[in-house]
Amino acid sequence: MVMADVERTLSIVKPDAVEKGATGAILARFEEAGLEILALKKIRLTEQQARGFYAVHKERPFYDDLVAFMTSGPVVVSVLEGPGAIARNRELMGPTNSEEAPAGTIRGDFGTDIERNAAHGSDAPETARIEIAYFFDAMEIVGVVEALPA
Ligand code: CMP
Indicate whether residue 107 lines ligand 1 (CB < 6 A). Answer: no
Indicate whether residue 29 lines ligand 1 (CB < 6 A). Answer: no
pLDDT of residue 82: 98
Q: Which residues contact 16 (CB under 8 A, 6 or more apart)?
A: 69, 110, 111, 112, 116, 117, 118
Average pLDDT over residues 10-32: 98
User: Which of 45, 62, 92 is the best mutation target for the ligand 1 pocket, counting ligand atoms within 8 Å of the beta carbon and taking the most?
Assistant: 62
- What predicted TM-score, i.e. pTM, was given to this entire model? 0.96
pLDDT tens digits for 80-111?
A: 999 999 999 999 999 999 999 999 999 999 99
Ligand 1 geometric centre to CA of 17 (Å): 15
- Residues forming a β-bridge with 41: 77
